[in-house]
Structure 1
Amino acid sequence: MAEAATAKKAAGKKAAGKKAAAAGKAVTKKAVTAKAATKKAVAKKVAAKKAVAKKSVAKAVVEKAAPRGSAVRKSPVEPSAEPVEVALSPALDAVDRERLLHGTHHQPHAVLGAHPVPGGIVFRAFRPYALSVTVVTGDLRAELHDDGDGFFSGLLPLRETPAYRLVIAYEGAVQETEDPYRFLPTLGDLDLHLMGEGRHEELWTVLGAHPMTHQGVSGTRFCVWAPNARAVRLAGSFNFWDGIGYPMRSLGSSGVWELFVPGIGEGELYKFDITRPDGSRTQRADPMARRTEIPPATSSVVEASHYEWGDEEWLARRGERPAHEAPLSIYEVHLSSWRPGLTYRQLAEQLPAYVKELGFTHVELMPIAEHPFGGSWGYQVTGFYAPTARLGTPDDFRFLVDALHQAGIGVIMDWVPAHFPRDDWALAEFDGRTLYEHEDPLRAAHPDWGTLEFDYGRREVRNFLVANAVYWCEEFHIDGLRVDAVASMLYLDYSREPGQWRPNEHGGRENLDAVAFLQEMNATVYRRVPGVVTIAEESTAWDGVTRATHHRGPSGFGGLGFGLKWNMGWMHDSLQYMSHEPVYRKYHHGEMTFSMVYAYSENYVLPISHDEVVHGKKSLVSKMPGDWWQQRANLRAYLAYMWAHPGKQLLFMGQEFAQGTEWSEEHGPDWWLLDPAYGAEADHRGVRELVGDLNSVYRSTPALWERDTSADGFEWVVGDAADDNVLAFLRRDADGTPLLAVSHFSPVVRQDYRLGVPDDISAWCEVLNTDAGRYGGSGVLHPDPVKPEPQPWHGHPASVRLTLPPLSTVWLRPA
Structure 2
Amino acid sequence: MNSPHLTPILLTSLSLCLSLGKKIMGKNIPRLVQDDMWLQPYTDAIVNRIKAARTKEKELAGDTSLYDFASGHLYFGLHKTTDGWAIREWAPNATYLFLIGSFNNWEEQKKYAFEPLQNGVWELRLKDSELRHGDLYALSMHWALDYGKRIPAWANYVVQDPETHVFNAQVWYPGNGYEWVNNEFKGVTGPPLIYEAHIGMSGEEGCVHTYNEFRENMLPRIKANGYNTVQLMAIPEHPYYGSFGYHVSSFFAPSSRFGTPDELRQLIDEAHEMGLAVIMDIVHSHAVKNEIEGLGKYDGTRYQFFHEGGRGEHPAWDSYCFNYGKNEVVHFLLSNIKYWLEEFRFDGFRFDGVTSMLYFDHGLGKAFTGYDDYFGGNVDTDATTYFTLANKLIKQIKKNSISIAEDMSGMPGLAVPVKHGGLGFDYRMAMGVPDYWIKLIKEKKDDEWEVGDIFYNLTSKRLDEKVVSYAESHDQALVGDKTIIFRLIDKEMYYSMRKDQPNLTVDRGIALHKMIRLITATTAGGAYLNFMGNEFGHPEWIDFPREGNGWSYSHCRRLWSIADDPELKYTWLYDFDKEMIHFISEHKLLTIPSVDFVMENKPDKVLAYHRGLFLFVFNFNPTHSFTDYGIPLGAGKYKVVLNTDSGRFGGQDRVDEDIPYYTLPSGGLTSQHYLKLYLPARTAMVLKKIDFPKVK
Scaled by the length of structure 2, what TM-score is found?
0.79
Identify the residue that residue 531 of structure 1 maps to in structure 2: 400
Q: Distance in 2 between matches of 1:509 and 1:635?
A: 40
Cα 1:803–1:414 shift into 2, 3 Å: same
Residue 590 of structure 2 aligns with an amino acid whose one-letter code is W
Q: Is it true that 1:705 corresponds to 2:572 in the alignment?
A: no
Q: Is the deviation greater in 326-335 or in 291-300? A: 291-300
C-alpha displacement at 1:224, in angstroms? 0.4
Aligned match of 1:480 in 336, 340, 348? 348
Matches within 5 A, 1:300-449: 300-304=169-173, 306-315=177-186, 318=187, 321=189, 326-339=190-203, 340-425=207-292, 426-449=294-317
Q: Distance in 1 between matches of 2:629 and 2:336?
A: 55
Q: Is it true that 1:292 corresponds to 2:292 in the alignment?
A: no
Q: Is it true that 1:688 corresponds to 2:562 in the alignment?
A: no
Q: Distance in 1 between matches of 2:467 and 2:68?
A: 31
Cα 1:431–1:790 shift into 2, 3 Å: same
Cα 1:548–1:792 shift into 2, 3 Å: farther
Aligned match of 1:757 in 633, 639, 652? 633
C-alpha displacement at 1:193, in angstroms? 10
Residue 729 of structure 1 aligns with an amino acid whose one-letter code is Y
C-alpha displacement at 1:656, in angstroms? 1.4
C-alpha displacement at 1:222, in angstroms? 0.9
Where 1:788 maps in the other structure, the secondary structure is: strand
Identify the residue that residue 108 of structure 1 maps to in structure 2: none
Q: Is it true that 1:717 corresponds to 2:598 in the alignment?
A: yes
Q: CA RMSD in A?
A: 2.6
Identify the residue that residue 619 of structure 1 maps to in structure 2: 483
C-alpha displacement at 1:606, in angstroms? 0.8
Q: Distance in 1 between matches of 2:679 and 2:120?
A: 69
Q: Distance in 1 between matches of 2:63 and 2:234?
A: 29
C-alpha displacement at 1:597, in angstroms? 3.4
Q: Distance in 2 between matches of 1:482 and 1:630?
A: 34
Identify the residue that residue 803 of structure 1 maps to in structure 2: 678
Residue 279 of structure 2 aligns with an amino acid whose one-letter code is I
C-alpha displacement at 1:601, in angstroms? 4.4
Identify the residue that residue 693 of structure 2 maps to in structure 1: none
Q: Is the 8 A contact 2:306 2:322 kept in 1?
A: yes
Residue 700 of structure 1 aligns with an amino acid whose one-letter code is E
Matches within 5 A, 1:576-655: 576-579=439-442, 580-586=444-450, 589-598=452-461, 600-607=463-470, 608-624=472-488, 627-647=505-525, 648-655=527-534
Cα 1:749–1:561 shift into 2, 3 Å: same
C-alpha displacement at 1:449, in angstroms? 0.8
Q: Is the 8 A contact 1:334 1:365 kept in 2?
A: yes
Residue 435 of structure 2 aligns with an amino acid whose one-letter code is H
Where 1:337 maps in the other structure, the secondary structure is: coil
C-alpha displacement at 1:478, in angstroms? 0.7
C-alpha displacement at 1:664, in angstroms? 3.2
Q: Is it true that 1:570 corresponds to 2:439 in the alignment?
A: no
Aligned match of 1:282 in 148, 152, 175? 148
C-alpha displacement at 1:599, in angstroms? 5.3
C-alpha displacement at 1:467, in angstroms? 1.2
Q: Is the 8 A contact 1:599 1:646 kept in 2?
A: no
Where 1:308 maps in the other structure, the secondary structure is: coil
Question: What is the CA deviation profile of residues 294-314 of structure 1, one whole-angstrom value per residue up to 9, with x for unaligned ones?
Answer: 363311112236111122232
Question: What is the CA deviation profile of residues 130-179 of structure 1, one whole-angstrom value per residue up to 9, with x for unaligned ones?
Answer: xxxxxxxxxxxxxxxxxxxxxxxxxxxxxxxxxxxxxxxxxxxxxxxxxx
Matches within 5 A, 1:120-269: 200-213=69-82, 217=83, 219-245=84-110, 246-252=112-118, 254-262=119-127, 263=129, 264-269=131-136
C-alpha displacement at 1:675, in angstroms? 5.4
C-alpha displacement at 1:624, in angstroms? 2.4
C-alpha displacement at 1:598, in angstroms? 2.3
Where 1:222 maps in the other structure, the secondary structure is: strand
Where 1:314 maps in the other structure, the secondary structure is: coil
Q: Distance in 1 between matches of 2:61 and 2:145?
A: 26
C-alpha displacement at 1:797, in angstroms? 4.0
Residue 670 of structure 1 aligns with an amino acid whose one-letter code is L
C-alpha displacement at 1:758, in angstroms? 2.5
Residue 170 of structure 2 aligns with an amino acid whose one-letter code is V
Residue 209 of structure 1 aligns with an amino acid whose one-letter code is L
Residue 185 of structure 2 aligns with an amino acid whose one-letter code is W
C-alpha displacement at 1:342, in angstroms? 3.4
Q: Distance in 1 between matches of 2:197 and 2:378?
A: 35
Identify the residue that residue 563 of structure 2 maps to in structure 1: 674
C-alpha displacement at 1:577, in angstroms? 2.7
Identify the residue that residue 728 of structure 1 maps to in structure 2: 608
Q: Is the 8 A contact 1:370 1:378 kept in 2?
A: yes
Q: Distance in 2 between matches of 1:497 and 1:807?
A: 36
Question: What is the CA deviation profile of residues 617-670 of structure 1, one whole-angstrom value per residue up to 9, with x for unaligned ones?
Answer: 212212226701110110011111122113211111111111221133433122
Where 2:73 maps in the other structure, the secondary structure is: helix
Q: Is the 8 A contact 1:220 1:265 kept in 2?
A: no
Q: Is the 8 A contact 2:521 2:528 kept in 1?
A: yes
Q: Is the 8 A contact 1:753 1:801 kept in 2?
A: yes
C-alpha displacement at 1:591, in angstroms? 4.2
Q: Distance in 1 between matches of 2:644 and 2:359?
A: 42
C-alpha displacement at 1:730, in angstroms? 0.4
Where 2:319 maps in the other structure, the secondary structure is: coil
Where 1:789 maps in the other structure, the secondary structure is: strand
C-alpha displacement at 1:387, in angstroms? 0.7
Identify the residue that residue 389 of structure 2 maps to in structure 1: 520
C-alpha displacement at 1:565, in angstroms? 0.7
Q: Distance in 2 between matches of 1:599 and 1:745?
A: 27
Aligned match of 2:656 in 782, 788, 793? 782
C-alpha displacement at 1:199, in angstroms? 6.6
Where 2:160 maps in the other structure, the secondary structure is: coil
Cα 1:380–1:341 shift into 2, 3 Å: closer
Cα 1:787–1:458 shift into 2, 3 Å: same
Residue 615 of structure 1 aligns with an amino acid whose one-letter code is V
Q: Is the 8 A contact 1:234 1:273 kept in 2?
A: yes
In the alignment of these two chains, the number of paired residues is 582
Q: Is the 8 A contact 1:267 1:301 kept in 2?
A: yes
Where 1:234 maps in the other structure, the secondary structure is: strand
Matches within 5 A, 1:654-665: 654-665=533-544
Q: Is the 8 A contact 1:309 1:402 kept in 2?
A: yes
C-alpha displacement at 1:237, in angstroms? 1.3
Where 1:438 maps in the other structure, the secondary structure is: coil
Structure 1 stretches of 5 or more lacking a match? 1-190, 553-558, 733-737
C-alpha displacement at 1:495, in angstroms? 5.5
C-alpha displacement at 1:279, in angstroms? 2.7
Question: What is the CA deviation profile of residues 652-699 of structure 1, one whole-angstrom value per residue up to 9, with x for unaligned ones?
Answer: 11111112211334331223423538x31xx11111011110111111
Residue 730 of structure 1 aligns with an amino acid whose one-letter code is H
Q: Distance in 1 between matches of 2:583 and 2:560?
A: 25
Residue 522 of structure 1 aligns with an amino acid whose one-letter code is N
C-alpha displacement at 1:194, in angstroms? 11
Q: Is the 8 A contact 2:458 2:524 kept in 1?
A: no
Q: Is the 8 A contact 1:436 1:454 kept in 2?
A: no
Q: Distance in 1 between matches of 2:259 and 2:461?
A: 43
Cα 1:511–1:332 shift into 2, 3 Å: same
C-alpha displacement at 1:589, in angstroms? 4.7
Where 1:550 maps in the other structure, the secondary structure is: helix
C-alpha displacement at 1:805, in angstroms? 2.2
Identify the residue that residue 615 of structure 2 maps to in structure 1: 740
